[in-house]
Structures are given as structure tokens and as C-alpha cells.
């Protein structure tokens, strides 16, 4: 699992990628990127998290 979305680990549905050790070029990590739907889901979940002091930054009509 390579993605943490909305409080749980999920496999990416996008293209795979890997990280190599720059000295010996051995693969040290592999994972899958998020697809567009997973990115949208992660952004929506992040927007639901309350941010301390956020109401102070909003115009008074939006509070």
C-alpha cells in the first residue's frame, strides 16, 4: 500500500514507480501513483479536516 487517503492505506491505481539507491542503483522502494480519482478523494478528505484558527481568517459573512 502506498497511499494514505482518508485515514487508511490504499494501493495506488496510477502508474508504478520506484526509488533507486543512487550509489548502487538497486531498487529500494516501489509503489503506484494515485490516479485522478484518488487525488480528488484525498483533496476532498483533506478539506473536511478542521483547521485551528481557520474561522479567524474568513470574512465575517462566511463564519
The 10s digit of each residue's pLDDT in 20-43 is 999 999 999 999 999 999 999 999
46-57 pLDDT, tens digit per residue, is 999 887 776 666
Q: Give the per-residue pLDDT at 55.
A: 64
3/17 Cα distance (integer angstroms): 13
Q: What is the Cα Rg of the chain in Å?
A: 18
40/45 Cα distance (integer angstroms): 9
pTM for the whole structure: 0.65
Q: Is the pLDDT of residue 5 over 60?
A: yes
Amino acid at each position: 500500500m502506498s497511499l494514505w487517503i482518508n485515514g487508511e492505506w490504499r494501493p495506488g491505481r496510477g502508474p508504478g514507480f520506484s526509488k533507486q539507491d543512487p550509489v548502487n542503483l538497486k531498487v529500494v522502494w516501489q509503489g503506484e501513483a494515485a490516479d485522478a480519482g484518488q487525488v480528488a478523494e484525498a483533496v476532498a478528505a483533506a478539506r473536511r479536516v478542521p483547521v485551528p484558527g481557520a474561522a479567524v481568517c474568513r470574512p465575517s459573512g462566511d463564519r
